A and B are shown apart, each in its own frame.
Chain A
Amino acid sequence: MLIVAGVAWFGWLAAAGQTAGRPVSAAAHTKQAPQKAQTTAPPQDPGERAFQQNCNRCHNAPQELPRRVTGTVLLHMRVRAGLSEADERAILRYMTQ
């Protein structure tokens, strides 16, 4: 009963989300690009696109990331999350512009 209730619950939530249709990009949680949030179209900026596709797969975007450590954190994520060099550069550019 619990399992059935859980599956039904999430089915309902997913359906409600699709009809509401206002996904929020990962950038909504960053200081760097708050204006880029609340869009339904895929982001045009390659860095923002790489950010959404890679970072949000495991965790929420940090709300604040000191600029001094962006290079270090991206180096860490390149190893841990298998980021390509191109994605690392694109995300760095997006987060520091």
Chain B
Amino acid sequence: MRLRPRVRGAGLVAQGVAAAVLLAAPRPVLCQYTPSVSGAVGFLHNTNKGVTGYAPNFMPVALVPVGQHVLFETRGTFVESITPGTNGRSERTRFNRGYAFIQLDVLATRHTTFVLGKFQTPFATYNERLSPIWIGKFQDGPLTFPIGNNGAAGTGGEMRGSLFSGSKMSIDYATFYASNVTGGQFKSTRATGGRMDVYFPGTGVEVGTSYTYIFSGAHPNAFGAHFWWQPVGGALAVKSEYAHSTHSQGYWIETAYRLLHWKGPESAIGRLEPVFRLQQTFRNSPDGTDNLPGVDTHRADFGLNYFLPHEVRINGSYSRQFASTGNGNIWRTGLTYRFVLPAWPGKKQ
């Protein structure tokens, strides 16, 4: 049977439309929710005012999803601290282990995730986002870290998520309540607080504010603010935080610049990232419980990171600290290897 030309033409158009629809349709996402083990191993060295120590370090992260809405996650830190002995004795070694978080996440709605267990205190940015050894530009945290972080973690619950996400702006939040737990890995102080961030994708600017109230002791309040600027696709990253507590306050500002523009990120020079950090703390009255320096302290940190293939990073830094109790130099070097591995066989696709 021969079709009329008009009918044949319509058939060809229909086939073309169908092919275009099939090509334009989103492809199925070929991913799996398999348990994984990631993290880093590192060998860190520091010389602080003439005293040298070494710290082989293992920081694994275990992720166990249950479906697509429930996740169990934990991050451990295993460190062997090696410090020189006194009076001619051999080195002292001490093994430390701890868990930054052991938590169950329930992704209840598009905007709400409930977290139960031991979680990192969501105050400012360093604790949750920069503290892993494979992320932080410097080996050590900022001097202001103890402010508002309630000992870095709490045991209780969090409610967090993305309030709004658009092409011009996104807003996310985290609120928490930590109960009083004594001893063990879940040791915690009763506290509450939260953080809110606003991110502007066009400019790469992120601003946020945090608050923590501790129910015990002198009931200290802590207030924090942060400002980050990272032009999208660029090599520059500026990060800063300000934190204020009852008896002390301080800030840090860090600038990193990956030398991508010299023959690309895989070139010998493009793998290099100079980093600079300036930090200051100020004290208005003595307080032995807030873990900040006892006197006004200023520090300048200069660092170099070198990113080798296969997720290996070498870093080194020099810091000069100024305080009325004495000035000093701090030298640090480190080698870290970051890994991500499936912890369970996957399904055939």
Contact = CB atoms under 8 A, between A and B. Distances in A.
A2 B329 CA distance: 12
Interface in B144-160: 160
A92 B107 contact: no
A73 to B, nearest CB: 7
Contact of B135 (A38, A58, A95, A96): A58
A82 B265 CA distance: 28
Contacts of A62: 311, 338, 340
A92 B276 contact: no
B232 A82 contact: no
A42 B232 contact: yes
A14 B276 CA distance: 13
A44 B278 CA distance: 37
Main secondary structure of the interface of A (DSSP, over half): helix
A69 to B, nearest CB: 4
Given A28-B265, A29-B265, A68 B38 contact: no
A81 B129 contact: yes
A56 B105 CA distance: 23
B197 interface: yes
A25 B233 contact: yes
A93 B260 contact: no
Contacts of B26: 93
Contact of B274 (A9, A20, A39): A9
A76 B63 contact: yes
Nearest to B346: A68
Contact of A84 (B105, B128, B170): B170
B236 interface: yes
Interface residues of A, number: 62
A81 to B, nearest CB: 7
Q: How large is the interface on B (under 10, 10 to 19, 20 to 34, 35 or more residues)?
A: 35 or more
B115 A79 contact: yes
Contact of A71 (B38, B65, B110, B302): B65
Nearest to A82: B172
Contact of B235 (A17, A63, A65, A67): A17
A70 B115 CA distance: 21
A29 B340 CA distance: 15
A1 to B, nearest CB: 10
Find the residue from B29, B134, B201, B206 having the highest chain A CB count within 10 A: B29
B201 A70 contact: no
B63 A10 contact: no
Given A9-B276, A84-B162, A23 B233 contact: yes
A14 to B, nearest CB: 6
Contact of B31 (A70, A82, A85): A70
Interface of A: 2-3, 6-7, 9-10, 13-14, 16-17, 20-26, 28-29, 38-40, 42, 49, 52-53, 56-60, 62-76, 78-87, 89, 92-93, 95-97
Question: Which 5 pairs show the lowest CB-CB distances between chains A and B?
Answer: A82-B172, A84-B165, A20-B261, A68-B346, A84-B162
17 contacts: A7-B276, A10-B257, A13-B259, A13-B274, A28-B264, A42-B233, A52-B233, A56-B230, A67-B32, A72-B32, A75-B33, A75-B71, A76-B73, A79-B113, A80-B129, A82-B172, A83-B162
Given A62-B311, A73-B63, A75-B65, 6 more contacts: A9-B274, A17-B236, A21-B261, A76-B61, A76-B63, A97-B30
